[in-house]
Structure formats: C-alpha cells, structure tokens
Structure 1
Amino acid sequence: MEEIRIDTEFIKLDQFLKHCGIAQTGGQAKMMIADGMVKVNNQVALERGKKIRKNDKVEIDDQYLFVVV
C-alpha cells in the first residue's frame, strides 16, 4: 500500500490517477474508470469526477493500492 498525499480537501478520481502516475492522460484515466478497473473503498467507481478524500483507499486493477493522506 502506497501513501499519496494531497494538499486539498479532495481530488477528482481521474486527476488522482494521473497524480499517482497510473494514467498518463485524462483519456486513459477515463477509460480505466469506465472499464471498472478502479475501486474506491472496495467499491467499483464508475464516475471520473468522484471526490477522493483523505483516508480513502483506491485500488486499480487488483494490482495497485493507494491510501490518501
């Protein structure tokens, strides 16, 4: 589990994927989300604008696990 620090109240899911280096572009992040590859707090997230806040856990394709601090 890798910790990702944010300095704002929240970050949108598609921006988070770019911030942590999983997606290179917004389009790539959008496709990953639409394909159901991303879970937030153990639930599949299909909204690219979903707000990610501190203490949320983001899992990508059962390979990467991030916790927001």
Structure 2
Amino acid sequence: MIEFKVTGDYIPMIQLLKATNLVSTGGEAQIVVDEGEVTYNGEVDYRKRLKVKAGDVVEFRGETIKVI
C-alpha cells in the first residue's frame, strides 16, 4: 500500500497517479482513467479531474493508494 500525503484540500486523480509513479505521463493517466482501470473508494470512476481527498482510497493495477 502506498500512503500519499495530500497538501491542500485535494489532488486531481491524474496528478495522484503521476505523483505516486504508477504512470509516467499525464496522458497515460488520462487513458487508464478513461478505460476504467482505476477505482476510487471501491468503484470504477472515469473522472480525470476527480478531487481525491484525505481518507480516500484509489486502486490501480494491484496497487492501493491511501490518501492521508
């Protein structure tokens, strides 16, 4: 599990995927979100600019990110 400390109120989903090094580019992040490869709090979410906040859990390709 990856614990990611958010600075500020939230981080957009595509920036979170890049910040945790699960994708290499913003374009790749947009594609994996579009294709439904990312779950947000247990459900597939297709919003690239989704505001991920402290307490949220994101899963992608077997990795779990807990936002703190």
TM-score, normalised relative to structure 1: 0.94
User: 2:15 matched to 1:22?
Assistant: no
Q: Could you say which residue in structure 1 is the equivalent of 2:63? A: 64
SS in 1 for 2:58: strand
- Could you tell me which runs of 5 or more consecutive residues in structure 2 were left unpaired when the two chains were aligned: none
- Could you tell me which runs of 5 or more consecutive residues in structure 1 were left unpaired when the two chains were aligned: none
In 1: Cα distance, 2:7 partner to 2:27 partner: 24
What percentage of residue pairs aligned between the two structures are identical?
28
- Superposed CA RMSD in Å reads 0.7
In 2: Cα distance, 1:23 partner to 1:40 partner: 16
Q: Summarize deviations over 1:5-48 as a string: whole Å, max 9, x none.
A: 11110000001100110111110000010110000000101010
In 2: Cα distance, 1:58 partner to 1:11 partner: 12
Segments ≥4 residues shifted beyond 4 Å: none
TM-score, normalised relative to structure 2: 0.95
In 2: Cα distance, 1:8 partner to 1:38 partner: 23
